[in-house]
Chains A and B, each alone.
Chain A
Amino acid sequence: MKNDYRARNHPAWWAFAVHRVSGLALAAFLPFHFWALGQALGGEAALQGFLVWAERPLVKASEWGLVVLLAAHMAGGLRLLALELLPWRDWQKALLAGAAGFTIVVGLALALVL
């Protein structure tokens, strides 16, 4: 098969793509997340000042996206661990759907409280 979209347009390739994009996004975000929490070194007021800034809609939307990416990366990673480390069973075909379902549940749960 030629290496074009036809070789890629299947669920396992999309699972790979989501895992890679989410992993890169999380790696880029982590230092900022740690820096933000480090504001607490300046006292409760300093951390609260950051949280007030983070109330902006764009920041909120980004937070939601990052938590969804975290859920997707974790669920997709568990799928990979099961594929690599467990003896092959038919139920493993359903892991992809399970990972997608878990991500959607987390996304909806967070959307309810955001």
Chain B
Amino acid sequence: MSARTETRLWIAQRASAAVLALCVVVHLIVIVYAMQGGLSAAEILARTRGSIGWLAFYSVFVLAAAVHAPIGLRAVLMEWTRARGWPLAIVLHAFALALAVVGLRAVWAVFAA
């Protein structure tokens, strides 16, 4: 892995972490607020259905997580296993793509439901 790629991954990991920190604070506040009196689908969808604001927020949240998680997993796998090179890159790209697709599907689901 070239030094340039390592540097790009390092920057992507920190930049996505900064975005995620803001998103997680909002998410934690919403969780504690929404859990009062129990969760219901009606309550969740009343907040998210048709809301461009929540659609944009959760889309950014999902995409930042799809960048952040695979890079973190890469560091762990490289430390704990012998995985290197293109096989590792394929697995991590697939994981990133899967997170982005399933995540954006969920965001769309609560927007369009």
The answer to whether B102 touches A35, judged by C-beta atoms less than 8 angstroms apart, is yes
Q: How far is the CA of A78 from the CA of B24 in the complex (A)?
A: 11
Nearest residue (CB) in B for A20 is B76
Q: List the A residue with the shortest CB-CB distance to B110.
A: A40
List residues of chain B with CB within 8 A of the CB of A94.
none
Nearest Cβ on chain A to B78's Cβ, whole angstroms: 13
Interface residues of A in 21-71 (CB under 8 A from B): 23-24, 26-27, 30-31, 33-41, 43-45, 47-48, 51, 54, 67, 70-71
Is A7 in contact with chain B by the CB < 8 A criterion? Answer: no
Q: Is A86 an interface residue (CB 8 A)?
A: no
- Specify the main secondary structure of chain A where it touches its partner: helix
Contact B28 A70 (CB under 8 A): yes
Q: Does B41 contact A (CB under 8 A)?
A: yes
Query: With the chains together, A36 CA to B72 CA distance in Å?
Result: 24
Contacting residues, chain A, for B44 (C-beta < 8 A): 40, 47
Decide if A110 is an interface residue (CB 8 Å cutoff).
yes
CB proximity of B80 to chain A, nearest CB, Å = 10
- Does B31 lie at the interface of the complex (its beta carbon under 8 Å from any beta carbon of A)? yes
The residue that A74 contacts in the complex, of B21, B31, B36, B41, with Cβ under 8 A, is B21
Give the interface of A toward B (CB within 8 A): 20, 23-24, 26-27, 30-31, 33-41, 43-45, 47-48, 51, 54, 67, 70-71, 74, 77-78, 80-81, 84-85, 106, 109-110, 113-114
